[in-house]
């Protein structure tokens, strides 16, 4: 347990000591919030959809968590190339503890970034429908962070090219984001797109977060929670397996 705590703390220190990373990772969510939120606000209201900022904000929060969580995997490649990973792996702790520590640390960092975006969304006009469900929303934020940090761990353990990692991850996360219901409603879509949304793990995170904050569900809270929990457990196991196969 000490190893998990130390590795979590190390991830948090890296985050706190890099204000450029904090500010830089806010750029894309704020751009989407302003450009889409205010750009389509009047059109969304005329179509009878209500306030688009209220609809979009949970998706933007999920986006901030998604990108920060998945890209935490590049730190494995970085540490491998500069020898820091070797120091960790030769320590008298199991690789499972190392994976759990790094994954939990990355998830906490991603969640912290999502919380900052949450505050920005509130400032921009987002209104929480039921404040009593905010703790439930926090649980969904953490599950999203943990799930996609696990995916980042898988790719970070398999890949060795620091330049190739962002290209592959962008190829993965952009479709996940755009076909998750984060920026448009899932109702009324063609059946093929509805099927794609149901296969997308981020859809359940966005739906759980939006339902908790805005009382608007596509699935339901129980389904969202169960799917995210099961997928997170599976991907934590897959990430642990690939990390254990790393050869220095």
| SS3 state at 28 | helix
pLDDT at 62: 92
Alpha carbon distances (Å) from 222 to 77, 147, 218, 246: 36, 17, 12, 37
* Maximal CA-CA distance, the chain: 62
- Which residues of the chain, if any, have pLDDT below 70? 1-8, 10-22, 47-49, 82-93, 247-248
What per-residue confidence (pLDDT) applies to 11?
A: 64
CA distance to 89, 106, 132, 198, 243, per residue, from 183 (Å): 41, 25, 25, 15, 34
Q: What is the pLDDT of residue 103?
A: 85
Q: Helix count (H) and strand count (E) of the chain?
A: 13, 0
Does residue 185 come out as left (phi exceeding 0), alpha (psi in the -120 to 50 range) or beta? Answer: beta
H or E element in which residue 200 lies:
none
Residue with token string 């985050």: 15
For residue 82, the model assigns a pLDDT of: 67
Q: What is the DSSP letter of 40?
A: S
Return the residue matching tokens 């966005």.
Answer: 206
Distance from C-alpha of 51 to C-alpha of 43, rounded to nearest angstrom: 10
Residue among 109, 139, 150, 140 nearest 233 (CA): 150
pLDDT on residue 42: 77
pLDDT at residue 155, rounded to an integer: 86
Both structure tokens of 230: 């099961």
* Dist. CA 94–CA 27, nearest whole Å: 37
- Separation of alpha carbons 145 and 106, rounded Å: 8
pLDDT confidence of residue 196: 84
């Amino acid at each position: 347990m000490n190893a998990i705590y130390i590795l979590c703390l190390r991830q948090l220190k890296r985050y706190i000591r890099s204000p450029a990373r904090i500010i830089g990772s806010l750029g894309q969510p704020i751009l989407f919030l302003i450009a889409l939120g205010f750009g389509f606000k009047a059109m969304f209201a005329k179509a009878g959809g209500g306030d688009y900022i209220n609809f979009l904000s949970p998706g933007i929060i999920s986006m901030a968590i998604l990108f920060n969580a998945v890209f935490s995997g590049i730190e494995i490649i970085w540490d491998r190339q500069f020898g820091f990973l070797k120091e960790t792996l030769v320590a008298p702790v199991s690789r499972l503890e190392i994976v759990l520590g790094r994954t939990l640390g990355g998830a906490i960092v991603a969640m912290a970034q999502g919380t900052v975006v949450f505050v920005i969304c509130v400032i921009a006009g987002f209104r929480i429908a039921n404040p009593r469900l905010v703790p439930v929303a926090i649980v969904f934020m953490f599950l999203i962070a943990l799930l996609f940090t696990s995916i980042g761990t898988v790719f970070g353990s398999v890949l060795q090219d620091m330049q190739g990692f962002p290209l592959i991850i962008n190829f993965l996360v952009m479709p996940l984001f755009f076909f998750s219901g984060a920026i448009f409603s899932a109702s009324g879509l063609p059946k093929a797109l509805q099927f794609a949304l149901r296969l997308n793990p981020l859809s359940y995170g966005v739906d759980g977060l939006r339902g908790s904050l805005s009382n608007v569900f596509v699935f339901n809270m129980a389904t969202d929670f169960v799917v995210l929990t099961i997928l997170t457990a599976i991907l934590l196991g897959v990430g642990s397996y690939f990390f254990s196969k790393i050869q220095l």
